[in-house]
Amino acid sequence: MAPALIVGGGLAGAAAAITLARAGAPHLLVERAHETADSLCGGFLSWRTLDRLAALGVAAEALNPARITQVRLFAGARQAAAPLPRPALAVSRRRLDTLLLAGAESAGAAVERGVAVREVADSAVRTADGATLAAAALFLASGKHDVRGAARPAAARGPDPALGLRVRLGPAPALTRLVGDAIELHLFRHGYAGLALQEDGTANLCLAVRRSRLHAAGGADALLAELGRALPALGERLAFRDAAAPVDAVANVPYGWRARTGTVGVARLGDQAAVIPSLAGEGMGIALASGAGAAAAYVRGGADALPAWQRRFARRLARPMRVAGAARAFAEGPFAPFGLLLAHPDLIQVIARSTRVDP
């Protein structure tokens, strides 16, 4: 029996492993992929998330030397911009996850790759090859993918759930000049798109769109073409897309859901703890904070301390989730209040600050 079993080697799982390894707490992290993939993710790291990464041993300079200093909003032909409270950056998940998991192994974390967990039952998990792994404490860090026996409630997705789409644009000098040092949000009815330049010079374009809107358009490629025609700034950027490149997708994202209660011996981390609307740019911050926080609670109080930690973490997320949910409703609406942001761009800063997870 492993004293602590971490399911998932993404940000939350790696943060938990680093924290346990530094404390000398026995554990095992299992990751289903043999090689680190470039997960579907906006890739935005806020100033507060960069502080968390530095505490875990990953420096911002190792991720992307370029900094994001402003947020730029587009709605049709209108736009608004404001400086971020502090510089941020964008990075591919392949690079970030690789560095973070390597840091965990350097800290002494026990990591096994190629182990896919299919089911959770009490404090044990069943793997794809039929093996059963028991543990005194289970850290569920499987990201957007639910595990049988510990799935998030289907009702959290709502009657018209969101889907995540991702395409890469460029690299191209003209695209770099267009986007510059900004994180961009392009708003449209029943969805929005975020775009930023990553460490390899490509622009990562991620969309959160209601299933009804995607179906009405006739699919992902048709939706992108429709949006490119309707939204001038987005269309200008989509011109740098390789038409032959696939569109990555993830279905039924339960934005707004969070685990409000806990179970002895189980900690839900990352997207398994809470799914903040992606336009807030705090999903990776939540993953890191949950992984390090749950592991620290376990080190202090053992498996019995995890339910209280889960409840405390849910309370910490209440304000960021509430503000992000309201911003999402605004972003997906008819944009009648958009003039407020044009007249008062400082409101963008207020939203950016209010959607961060407190230290």
CATH among 3.30.365.10, 3.40.50.2300, 3.40.50.970, 3.50.50.60 for 2-156+254-354: 3.50.50.60
Percent of the chain with pLDDT over 90: 84
- Supply the pLDDT for residue 342: 67
- Supply the pLDDT for residue 346: 79
- Supply the pLDDT for residue 336: 53
Q: Following CA atoms 226, 231, 233, 234 in sequence, which dihedral angle do they give, to the nearest 10 degrees? A: -40
Q: What residue segments make up the domains of the chain, in order of their start?
A: 2-156+254-354
pLDDT mean over 105-118: 95
- Supply the pLDDT for residue 117: 95
pLDDT tens digits for range 269-279: 999 999 999 99
pLDDT > 80? residue 1: no
pTM for this prediction:
0.95
pLDDT > 90? residue 123: no
Average pLDDT, rounded, for the chain? 93
pLDDT tens digits for range 279-316: 999 999 999 999 999 999 999 999 999 999 999 999 99
Task: Give start and end residues of each alpha helix (H) in 197-282.
Answer: 211-217, 220-230, 232-238
pLDDT mean over 117-136: 90
Whole-number Å distance between alpha carbons of 23 and 107: 10
pLDDT mean over 74-93: 92
pLDDT > 80? residue 228: yes
pLDDT tens digits for range 244-276: 888 999 999 999 999 999 999 999 999 999 999
For residues 212-245, one letter each, b for 16 or more C-beta atoms within 10 angstroms of the residue's C-beta and e for the rest, the string is ebbeebeebeebbbebbeebebbeebbebbeeee
pLDDT mean over 217-235: 96
Q: Following CA atoms 359, 331, 157, 162 in sequence, which dihedral angle do they give, to the nearest 10 degrees? A: -110
pLDDT > 60? residue 235: yes
